Structure 1
Amino acid sequence: MKTLILFFILLPLNSLAQEFEILYTSQVNNNDNIYLINHLGRIKQITTHPRKDSSPMISPNGKQMVFTSERVGWWKIWILDLENNDYRQLTNSGSAEYSPSWSLDGSRIVFVSGRNGGAEIYTMNPDGQDIKQLTSNKKNTMPSWGSDNRIYYSSQVSGVYQIWHMNPDGSDQQQLTSDKGDKLMAQLAPDQKSILYYGNRDGNMEIYTMEVSSENVNRLTDDGLMDIRPRWSPDGKRIVFERGNKRSNQQIYIMDADGSNQLQLTKTGYNYSPSFMR
């Protein structure tokens, strides 16, 4: 794997006290590849394929990266062994397959596939074997594996995406929200006290948390551009997300878990799908 250091961004000094590494996708010359940026602003290119690579998620042991790719056609799930630079295709249906996320122990991957005529949630082993369908209503998206070992996801109810969760085998599916506005990319905090998501309840796409015990909703961002696709840091103290218009200007940001200390990491172009490497 050839690694390319592109440039440095001089970040404010107060950001350097907390080290981080963030995976994300960047479109350069109409080609999407996966990159890594750290707290010093140092950027490395991870994938260098002429077809689109996107949505990277690191395994719990830090040795593998699952991602979506158009290397062999429509979106499929791929995995990269970071120790030996080994790429493997995990899914191969005739439909788009995307939004991969790891189980807590790294033994399963949850993802979305349209292989049976609708957007359903599935799990599989990291070698692509033992694929199991968990949902069956054709309107599901953006699953994540919670620290309580339940899968959190969005499912459309009466035309609105609401937050649901279920057991890893698909049993005990429960709806957690029912108010106005789409709620997408739901993720339980590492301390299990709140659920992170983005939605449009206030008219624009913004980032929110919902307290598990009280169901109180806290708005974390308030910007004229769209704030979308947030991810928790492993310790739950910070959130990475993207802000932009989903066209020519889409940048990666990081902030504290309460929405304070928002810091822009990338400066130009179209950048998306961030997640913490560590």
Structure 2
Amino acid sequence: FFFANDQRILFGSSHAEQRDCPPKPDPSKGYVWRLDPYDMYTARPDGSELRRLTSYGVYTAEGVVSPDGRKVVFTSLKDGDLDIYTMNVDGSDLRKLTSTPGYDGGPWWSPDGTKIVYRAWHPVGDSLVAYRELLAQRLVRPNKMELWLMNADGSDQHQITHLGGANFGPSWTPDGRRLIFSSNYKQPRSGNFDLFLVNLDGTGLEQVTTHESFDGFPMFSPDGRKLVWASNRHDAKPGETNLFIADWVP
């Protein structure tokens, strides 16, 4: 993630804990995400002046810099569950924002820095037991997620979408009035994800893409004139993901 002045980048890396590329998850466990031991770093775009911000040795990633360039919001397993935290860009003033059992992740600042959107799944009963069993193996099954919203200090946490399936990768329209995200709610057992817009109160759902493949991780250019996202469309081999960019006409 680039800082506003393009002089530094923020990223997560597991290189301090494991030099080799991690193996793919065991297919017998179904579709799961690995939670490898990432930590947060900043560096110049050419890779120089590397600075380590966290040293937790567990999954700590999904970092985004605040619009004023002073804070980072990120996801970490540091306290035993997948929760959202903020810190200063030098790693100081760590604050935990979420604490409900389950997966809270993918946080993204609003354009004015006052709110954070994120994805969450808060299982109960047998589902919570199964979630924790996978978590102990450093795995998570991301097939049930909805969009949530909170203030930048962690207050007023509330659910936005109630679509079913996996709803994730949210970011904001440049005016801060709507969210764009990826969802497979129309075919929740499939890998057919499309991009959607939604108002902050969950109304006004609008489909943006209609391709029979994966479209995800959407983000607008700073001037709001372009939309960039990742997609499996036109893949040379199954599962190949590329970046796509399109003009945006509100």
Tell me the TM-score normalised to structure 2 length: 0.74
Q: State the partner residue of 1:76.
A: 39
Q: State the partner residue of 1:132.
A: 95
Superposed CA deviations along residues 2-48 of structure 1, whole A, max 9, x for unmatched, are xxxxxxxxxxxxxxxxxxxxxxxxxxxxxxxxxxxxxxxxxxxxxxx
- Contact 1:155-1:163 within 8 A present in 2 as well: yes
Matched letter for residue 242 of structure 2:
Q
- Specify the SS of the correspondent of 2:73: strand
Q: State the partner residue of 2:223.
A: 235
Q: State the partner residue of 1:9.
A: none
> For the structure 1 residues 213 and 119, does the alpha-carbon distance in structure 2 shift closer, same or farther, using more than 3 Å as the test?
closer
- Specify the SS of the correspondent of 2:50: strand
Deviation of the 1:179 alpha carbon: 2.3
Q: In the aligned structure 1, how far is the partner of 2:159 from the partner of 2:242?
A: 32
Q: State the partner residue of 1:108.
A: 71
Deviation of the 1:193 alpha carbon: 2.6
Q: In the aligned structure 1, how far is the partner of 2:170 from the partner of 2:105?
A: 10
Q: State the partner residue of 1:219.
A: 207
Q: How does 1:15-30 map to 2 (within 5 A)?
A: none
Unaligned runs of 5+ in 1: 1-56, 260-278
1:141 aligns with 2:105: yes
Matched letter for residue 214 of structure 2:
M
Q: In the aligned structure 2, how far is the partner of 1:78 from the partner of 1:173?
A: 28
Point out the more displaced range, 191-200 or 249-258: 249-258
Q: State the partner residue of 1:49.
A: none
Matched letter for residue 58 of structure 1:
F
Q: In the aligned structure 1, how far is the partner of 2:99 from the partner of 2:220?
A: 28
Q: CA RMSD in A?
A: 2.3
Deviation of the 1:190 alpha carbon: 1.3
How many percent of aligned residue pairs carry the same amino acid?
28
Matched letter for residue 239 of structure 1:
L
Q: State the partner residue of 2:81.
A: 118
Unaligned runs of 5+ in 2: 18-36, 124-142
- Contact 2:39-2:57 within 8 A present in 1 as well: no
Q: In the aligned structure 2, how far is the partner of 1:176 from the partner of 1:189?
A: 16
- Specify the SS of the correspondent of 2:145: strand
Q: In the aligned structure 2, how far is the partner of 1:83 from the partner of 1:127?
A: 19
Q: How does 1:1-278 map to 2 (within 5 A)?
A: 57-73=1-17, 74-82=37-45, 85-137=48-100, 138-148=102-112, 149-157=114-122, 160-203=144-187, 204-212=192-200, 215-244=203-232, 249-257=240-248
> For the structure 1 residues 89 and 221, does the alpha-carbon distance in structure 2 shift closer, same or farther, using more than 3 Å as the test?
same
> For the structure 1 residues 60 and 120, does the alpha-carbon distance in structure 2 shift closer, same or farther, using more than 3 Å as the test?
same
Q: How many residues align?
A: 203
Point out the more displaced range, 190-199 or 151-160: 151-160
Structure 1 residue runs of 4+, over 4 Å off? 245-248
Deviation of the 1:86 alpha carbon: 0.6
- Specify the SS of the correspondent of 1:121: strand
Deviation of the 1:180 alpha carbon: 2.2
Q: In the aligned structure 1, how far is the partner of 2:238 from the partner of 2:51?
A: 30
Deviation of the 1:248 alpha carbon: 5.3
- Specify the SS of the correspondent of 1:210: strand
- Contact 2:11-2:63 within 8 A present in 1 as well: yes
Deviation of the 1:76 alpha carbon: 1.3
Q: In the aligned structure 1, how far is the partner of 2:105 from the partner of 2:244?
A: 23
Q: In the aligned structure 2, how far is the partner of 1:235 from the partner of 1:213?
A: 24
